[in-house]
Structure 1
Amino acid sequence: MSAITPVISATGLFTPPDSISNAELVASYNTYAERYNAQHAAAIAAGDLAELALSSVEFIEKASGVKSRFVMSKAALLDPNVMAPRWAERPNDEISVMAEMGVLAARDALAKAGRDPADVDAVLCAASNMQRPYPAMAIEIQNALGIEGFGFDMNVACSSATFGIQTAADFIRSGNARSVLVVSPEICTGHNNMRNRDSHFIFGDVATAVLVEAVDMAPHPHWEIVGTRLKTVYSNNIRNNFGFLNCATPESVGTDDKLFVQEGRKVFKEVVPMVSAMIADHAAALGIDPASLRRLWLHQANQGMNRLISQRVLGHEASEDESPTVLDTYGNTPSAGSIIAFNRYSDDLAAGDVGVICSFGAGYSAGTVFVRKAA
């Protein structure tokens, strides 16, 4: 019996209603930094503490390419006394914030595919951070949508969505499911250190959904999944040490390593060649000339990284059409970034066009999903 061909039937997107511009973010951070410097003036003068440098719009855009980001908790993030997401804790009988975001993205994908939730067999919640350890976010999303079957959470940081797509595709190929939702709700501002000049601007919030199905039930048009490949290489250069073993200890409160930390230059130097080679090698294994790829939907982490990866894969400087960006308006949205790019910039491709969805991030982790447009 031949394996069933998995396809992407549709994708969905939930974008929060509020957005923070770089100017707003800089005003908040600089107020905090000026207060800090004033409060610790004596220690700074004595050389016991380092003075906090101010941020600027120009610095942020040059470092990242980010111009604004969508967020779930704007007022609290911009409050110099808080600088973190805040919302009222919900009772256990009310849907959680993360699940609510995921449900909205999932409904968008289902509507585009003309699919009823009863047709879906499984839900995978693939994201960089979960709102709680258990019950699984995927099961809560499954319950809210009224889906029978099963669900589970998975976390491979910024590569979670592509790892989820391969997992879903494998379920389809093996016959263990015919329709799988891969949902990636990302409240990334919750694990960002808004008091760190080098990273206060990086993240935004969003949720995406990818409906992976057997080809014989897929709507038209759809995207055939030509091949998937995953890769992990251990690295400490992107890290977050928050967890249930340390979150309640007095000594851990307020320590920077319980939030996102990275060695940005090392990440750039090591990840760019790794991902470029991975895309090229995977393309060759599939009999695809990398230079012929119609579009690259890359992880939206850093404009410079994406520019260089695209150039190495295509053999020339990529145009915005060949490697579109959403980083400027969404910021870095971990696992959701490449899916947002695919969601917004894929309808215009013609039948037969081939592209690659690629994510990469902490771990290191990377995933490639080569797709072909079907009429």
Structure 2
Amino acid sequence: MYTPAITGTGVYTPDQIVTNDELVAAFNAHAEKFNARHADAIAAGEIEAKQPSSTEFIVSASGIHQRYVLDKTGVLDPEVMHPHLPERGNDEPSLMAEMALDACAKALERAGRRAEEVDLVICAASNHERPYPAIAVEIQQLLGAGGFAFDMNVACSSATFGMQAAADMIRTGSVRRALVVNPEICSGHLEWRDRDCHFIFGDVCTAAVLERADEAKGAHFVIRSTRCATQFSNNIRNNNGFLRRTREGHMADRRDMLFVQEGRKVFKEVLPLVSRHIAEHMADEGIEAAELKRLWLHQANKAMNDFIGRKVMGRVPEAHEQPNILQDYANTSSAGSIIAFSKYSDDMAPGDTGLICSFGAGYSVGSVLVERAG
């Protein structure tokens, strides 16, 4: 049996930013147009008027201040309210694969590896651009990697579930080196016209190189253990999938064809599930709360992360112990905890222990317990 390790990470960040103020202005303009267009029905009580949003509401509800997106022109157009992401031809690289190449190149550089040394690519993300051929196989081909590749979808836990799959294959010797890639185009499945969620998501892509610890070329994180769990719930759901809405227009009669969330139920049910999952994982590995130097949590909501951090550590964590990137990136689904890990891990000393954890629709929870080495 071999010991798996994370030897490099990379983050692709789009160059377009949507601030809360910009988003609120667009949403409120849309709401005014909607209310004027349906004034008679609203007066008759047949439909509800849309209430305005505000920057204060967004920050209070989520902790988010801005988000990166692939296209802001459509998102900020009150008559459109979704990104313009034109369909690509079969002879062009897919959008997800294009994002992945950037993140993978950065991860490989940090690991000191070449793409041809990789023998497994897992594209783990909330939504995929097409059912087949797998995006992962396309990424493998574009990179010039060897071995095999496959797609995985466990919603916001896709990255940690992908890491467990790769780590298990490295342990058994079936692969030597893997890329776990998380291209998240969350703007494509968000309902930007819904006040309760129009601020939640952003776009990004992360990548991580996993390989045998004894072959690592520099400082790395040994994966001590991984743990995954699922529990069915309809409280976070998307009945359509990926980018269809951005190409065919809104499906106004089917709100459930985009991201839908029962926020209060999610908060009530997911928090104890995640807190218990982490506590049991640490207990089984003999890790006391005082020994945990860093907690890289899924970046969905600041209040949720603050609650989990207190439960896990038995106190309010210091900012460096539980880093947040939510204020800058918003919720980037499975990529969030990997962004936090990539940006806030270099300062850890050999022997320091940390835990990467993601959670979301499913419900799903995935945790990766790591120790700094080298």
1:350 & 1:251 partners in 2: Cα distance?
50
Structure 1: gaps (5+ residues):
none
Q: In the TM superposition, what are the counterparts of 1:1-375 in structure 2 within 5 Å?
A: 3-243=1-241, 254-375=253-374
When residues 140 and 312 of structure 1 are mapped into structure 2, their CA distance, relative to the original with a 3 A threshold, is: same
Q: How far does residue 319 in structure 1 lie from its aligned partner after superposition?
A: 1.6
Deviation digits for residues 191-249 of structure 1 (CA, Å, limit 9, x no counterpart) = 000000000000000000011101121122000001100000000100001159x9999
Which amino acid in structure 2 is aligned with residue 325 of structure 1?
A: N
Which amino acid in structure 1 is aligned with residue 255 of structure 2?
A: D
Q: How far does residue 290 in structure 1 lie from its aligned partner after superposition?
A: 2.3
Q: How far does residue 291 in structure 1 lie from its aligned partner after superposition?
A: 3.1
2:343 & 2:249 partners in 1: Cα distance?
44
Q: Secondary structure at the match of 2:10?
A: strand
2:289 & 2:6 partners in 1: Cα distance?
21
Which amino acid in structure 2 is aligned with residue 310 of structure 1?
A: G
1:127 & 1:140 partners in 2: Cα distance?
15
8 Å Cα contact 1:161-1:335 kept in structure 2: yes
8 Å Cα contact 2:189-2:241 kept in structure 1: no
Q: Secondary structure at the match of 1:131?
A: coil
Q: How far does residue 332 in structure 1 lie from its aligned partner after superposition?
A: 0.1
1:254 & 1:152 partners in 2: Cα distance?
34
| TM-score, reference length from structure 2 | 0.97
Moved more, 82-91 or 334-343: 82-91
8 Å Cα contact 2:18-2:66 kept in structure 1: yes
Structure 2: gaps (5+ residues):
none
Q: Secondary structure at the match of 1:76?
A: coil
Q: How far does residue 88 in structure 1 lie from its aligned partner after superposition?
A: 3.1
8 Å Cα contact 1:291-1:313 kept in structure 2: no
Q: How far does residue 49 in structure 1 lie from its aligned partner after superposition?
A: 1.1
8 Å Cα contact 1:292-1:314 kept in structure 2: no
Q: How far does residue 253 in structure 1 lie from its aligned partner after superposition?
A: 5.9
Q: Secondary structure at the match of 1:75?
A: coil
Q: Secondary structure at the match of 2:51?
A: coil
When residues 337 and 243 of structure 1 are mapped into structure 2, their CA distance, relative to the original with a 3 A threshold, is: closer
Percent identity, please.
Answer: 56
Q: Secondary structure at the match of 2:74?
A: helix
Deviation digits for residues 92-116 of structure 1 (CA, Å, limit 9, x no counterpart) = 1111111100111001100111101
1:8 & 1:251 partners in 2: Cα distance?
41
Which amino acid in structure 2 is aligned with residue 281 of structure 1?
A: E
1:321 & 1:26 partners in 2: Cα distance?
31
8 Å Cα contact 1:121-1:149 kept in structure 2: yes
Q: How far does residue 255 in structure 1 lie from its aligned partner after superposition?
A: 1.4
Deviation digits for residues 45-72 of structure 1 (CA, Å, limit 9, x no counterpart) = 1111101000000000000000000000
- Number of residue pairs matched by the alignment: 372
Runs of 4+ in 1 over 4 A off after TM superposition: 246-254
Which amino acid in structure 2 is aligned with residue 14 of structure 1?
A: Y
8 Å Cα contact 1:335-1:359 kept in structure 2: yes
2:14 & 2:251 partners in 1: Cα distance?
31
Moved more, 194-203 or 40-49: 40-49
8 Å Cα contact 2:293-2:354 kept in structure 1: yes
